[in-house]
Chain A
């Protein structure tokens, strides 16, 4: 005997929604921590200091990945201006500011079971992540960056070549939710 309904075809879509986001400009910034503040002023960014914290200034988002490493996200129209600012600052403040926009594909996972679906591949305690923070972690051996935008809304940056693998696991989780497992 079961009390489960089997006619609920929209169930998986309600429990978890997975979509690919429109690409935007993405930069990898490496600079010694003692020069980060000066550089952030000349680039017009807000660079957080604590690993895993995200700062937003206007439309530009910066995530601290390591003591000397940041991930910078910006709308496409800001790309050239940022590169130009980096070039201008380079002589005084040595740093690396690389356009890696094409490296990753961004997935948006949302819905009440988004967190559970992520736990199929991520060993880290996602539940304890603060809303608005982010972390570089591993999804079943693939390096990903996980952003917690809301209680039940995540962004996951997956390297392009790992995407089929990650997507297959997430689709499997979605299918299991749909089956009521």
Chain B
């Protein structure tokens, strides 16, 4: 089982308490009706599907119930870091150097 660090609880806890919630840093368009069908489709469904560090949302649903962001390596399934929702993307150079 994965161990995930919750940035709100400041504890590292088992995956069973968490729920995955898709890719992070996807902003809802300010004016959806101004978008073309293709742009709206891209916003709703098109994801980056990266191989390597993936920025994604998680929710500590059986705990503090907060959404937060995480960077997980999709190759090794290791969590590189987690941070609070609303915080900017972290600089990964230190984590990448460590690997």
Q: How large is the interface on B (under 10, 10 to 19, 20 to 34, 35 or more residues)?
A: 10 to 19
A136-153: CB near B (< 8 Å → 1, else 0) gives 111000010000000000
With A52-B9, A66-B8 given, is the CB distance from A137 to B64 under 8 Å?
no
Chain A residue with the shortest CB-CB distance to B65: A66
Which one of B12-20, B31-39, B48-56 is at the interface? B12-20
> Is the beta-carbon distance between A137 and B17 smaller than 8 angstroms?
yes
> Is the beta-carbon distance between A67 and B1 smaller than 8 angstroms?
no
Interface residues of A in 55-74 (CB under 8 A from B): 65-67, 69
Determine whether A15 belongs to the interface, using a CB cutoff of 8 Å to chain B.
Answer: no
| Cα(A60)–Cα(B70), bound, Å | 37
Chain A residue with the shortest CB-CB distance to B11: A52
Determine whether A38 belongs to the interface, using a CB cutoff of 8 Å to chain B.
Answer: no
Number of interface residues of A (CB under 8 A): 13
Q: List, in ascending order, chain A residues with CB within 8 A of B16's CB.
A: 123, 138
| Cα(A123)–Cα(B1), bound, Å | 9
> Is the beta-carbon distance between A51 and B62 smaller than 8 angstroms?
no
| Cα(A113)–Cα(B63), bound, Å | 25
Q: Please list the residues of chain B having a beta carbon within 8 angstroms of any beta carbon in chain A.
A: 1, 8-11, 13-17, 61-66
Q: Please list the residues of chain A having a beta carbon within 8 angstroms of any beta carbon in chain B.
A: 51-52, 65-67, 69, 123-124, 135-138, 143
The contact sample of 20 A-B pairs, CB cut-off 8 A, is A51-B8, A51-B9, A52-B11, A65-B64, A66-B8, A66-B64, A66-B65, A66-B66, A67-B8, A67-B66, A69-B64, A69-B65, A123-B14, A123-B15, A123-B17, A136-B62, A136-B65, A137-B17, A138-B17, A143-B61
